[in-house]
Structure 1
Amino acid sequence: MKISETHTVENIIVPIRLQEYAVGIFKTIPTKSGIKKAIKKRRVLVDGRIASTALYIKGNETIELLQEEDSPQKKHFKFPIEVLFEDDYLAIIYKPAGILVSGNSFATIDNALSQNLQKSTLSNATRPRPVHRLDYPTSGLLLIGKTTESITTLNRMFEQKEIQKTYHAICIGKMERSGEINISIDDKNAFTLFEVIQTTPSPRFNFFNLVKLNPKTGRKHQLRKHLFAIGNPILGDREYFLEGLILNGKGLFLHASSLSFTHPFTLEKVNIKKELPKKFKKIFP
């Protein structure tokens, strides 16, 4: 494997474990969990030798990161993906409901990207990677990085809230026309704006509401938890629901409908939208 990044250690007073020291030294692996995984995959060299998590850094070492390459024996998941935007740096694709973005499973969007996207012609091209997540039951737009630099840059843009995401959901019960939900999740600030677009009566659920959602933070299950917290859970949610008000067999009515941002390399305005799934239109034609 080729060396993708190199770091030279300066003088250190107190030795520190490699997995602690290496957090943040590589652009393509900004997290501690990512560093530990890279070390276990034998992708980290210290002074030319494969490193272990038990290794201590004492100062003046050269730390190198090997480029991750797909094994020739690795099978790709054959799954057709709708591509709505693509260039050498990034892509925006549509993720259907009922499929994982990534993880240990074989059937993931991550494992199907290489067959659906054009390989970048840039020198720092890498295997295409999703730079954010959508829940398994959620449909909608997913942003993909195609170079090591774009993956790092897009992750930073998400952290700095430079990428605007809009969702649409169908929620149940009587709702205010618009509002702000500011309820902590896992002891972290979480903030969501909502606007009711349409409302229709429902004999079983009282009301159905077509709601536009703009999350201002990115906590796990934020939209689902926030709407449940105000008494208007998303239709079809089997984790956050009101007793006796579960819709079976139709899935979750939550859709990531638009992504808007300034392209970090071409500086063009990117604003991609994806129409609501058919199941939404059966309730709100």
Structure 2
Amino acid sequence: MDLELPKHPEFARVAAKIASDRHGQRIQDALHGLFPTLLPSRKSCKKAIERGRIAINGVPSTTARRVQTGDEVVYLPDNAPPRPPGPGAPQHLKWHRPDGADHLFVWKPAGLATSGSGRLNLAAVLAHLAHAGTPDQVAALTAHHPDALRWPQPIHRLDRVTSGWVCVALNLRTASSIGAAFAAQRIRKSYLALVAGDLDGQGECRLPLEGQTAHTSWNAIASGPLPVHGTATLLRVLPTTGRTHQIRRHCALLGHPIVGEDRYPERVDTGEEPLRYKGNGLFLSAVELHIPAGEHGASSRISADAPKKFRRIAWVKNALSQDQATDAS
């Protein structure tokens, strides 16, 4: 992929050559995967073509056009300002941008999707703040080396019900570099999870999900009483792979669903709906994220304390304090 950076980065374009394995395909099919950060799905590819954002050899394309080996496909970003996020969107977000980096770590609150077609998601909030936020917000969300990535782009996802750190790219080079590190399983992620039942020591789950390999390791921090479940265990969870709802599903498959879980609850033989600890959401949070060095720059790491709902449980709060003291020693 070649990037052209004119004097006004908002008009930057992205170009790619058609390889022989895409020869003869309709552009709607050949386009998928050429610009994965900008056009992550077949639906987004079709919309880009219909909106006149795709040209082949300098000529705007239609969805029926077939490509040939060596054709130059160009994507021209939409210059329109982002739409304001939907009602209930946060006006302020907690983030940290490493010195000199074109990525930042953003804390996604529980209840907010990472991205999507709607307006109530983290990507939409960041785009709005980058366009119409305070001067400090705009500066923090502007790339040092801008290109065709018009607005801040989350590189990975967290479930809507999961809080925690999300790595956000500010240009395509960074998105590609860190995205490759995620694909190669070189990113270190650490979660806190409160699960039903009593666990001790450490363990792992390698049960495949949807026919794909999946690997989750865990270390028990402490156990204690909890209404509804009787006993719960605080875990530090380290996923190696990143399958959809991986931690939630692995915990449920092990017989220890996450407290607050409503999608993968504990199985019961009576046929009745299992009891659930309600009112505080899912007790799962991505509290630590480590990005290795690469084309995007130096390595970077971010961590956070457990969310308040964890610390409202007395024995969990004590266990977290002792765990932090151990790590510091």
The 3-state SS of whatever aligns with 1:121 is: coil
Once the two structures are superposed, the pairs formed by residues 135-146 of structure 1 within 5 Å of their partners are: 135-146=159-170
Deviation at 1:37, TM superposition (A): 4.4
Match of 1:43 among 53, 57, 61: 53
Q: Which residue of 2 aligns with 1:110?
A: 123
Deviation at 1:43, TM superposition (A): 1.6
Give the Cα–Cα distance (whole angstroms) in 2 for the partners of residues 223 and 11 of structure 1. Answer: 39
Match of 2:190 among 157, 160, 166: 166
What TM-score, normalized by structure 1, do the two folds share?
0.89
Give the Cα–Cα distance (whole angstroms) in 2 for the partners of residues 188 and 120 of structure 1. Answer: 35
The 3-state SS of whatever aligns with 2:25 is: strand
Residue identity in the other structure for 2:232 = F
Give the Cα–Cα distance (whole angstroms) in 2 for the partners of residues 163 and 102 of structure 1. Answer: 20
Residues 1:121 and 1:206: Cα distance change in structure 2 (over 3 Å): same
What TM-score, normalized by structure 2, do the two folds share?
0.78
Unaligned 5+ segments in structure 2 are 1-9, 130-136, 267-272, 318-329
Once the two structures are superposed, the pairs formed by residues 1-285 of structure 1 within 5 Å of their partners are: 2-9=11-18, 15-26=24-35, 28-29=37-38, 33=42, 35-69=45-79, 71-72=80-81, 74-76=83-85, 79-86=91-98, 87-114=100-127, 115=129, 116=137, 117-124=140-147, 126-202=150-226, 204-242=228-266, 243-265=273-295, 267-283=297-313, 284-285=316-317
Aligned-residue sequence identity (percent) comes to 26
Residue identity in the other structure for 1:75 = P
Mean CA deviation greater in 243-252 or 12-21: 12-21
Give yes or no for contact 1:88–1:122 (8 Å, CA) kept in 2. Answer: no
Residues 1:274 and 1:26: Cα distance change in structure 2 (over 3 Å): same
Unaligned 5+ segments in structure 1 are none
CA deviations on 1:153-194 (whole Å, 9 max, x unpaired) are 111110001111110100011224210101111111111001
Give the Cα–Cα distance (whole angstroms) in 1 for the partners of residues 169 and 144 of structure 2. Answer: 13
Residue identity in the other structure for 2:150 = T
Residue identity in the other structure for 1:42 = G
Pick the structure with more strand per residue. 1
Give the Cα–Cα distance (whole angstroms) in 2 for the partners of residues 240 and 31 of structure 1. Answer: 28
Mean CA deviation greater in 117-126 or 269-278: 117-126
Give the Cα–Cα distance (whole angstroms) in 2 for the partners of residues 102 and 134 of structure 1. Answer: 9
Give yes or no for contact 1:260–1:270 (8 Å, CA) kept in 2. Answer: yes
Deviation at 1:268, TM superposition (A): 2.9
Give aligned pairs, total: 284
Give yes or no for contact 1:169–1:212 (8 Å, CA) kept in 2. Answer: yes
Pick the structure with more helix per residue. 2
Deviation at 1:113, TM superposition (A): 1.1
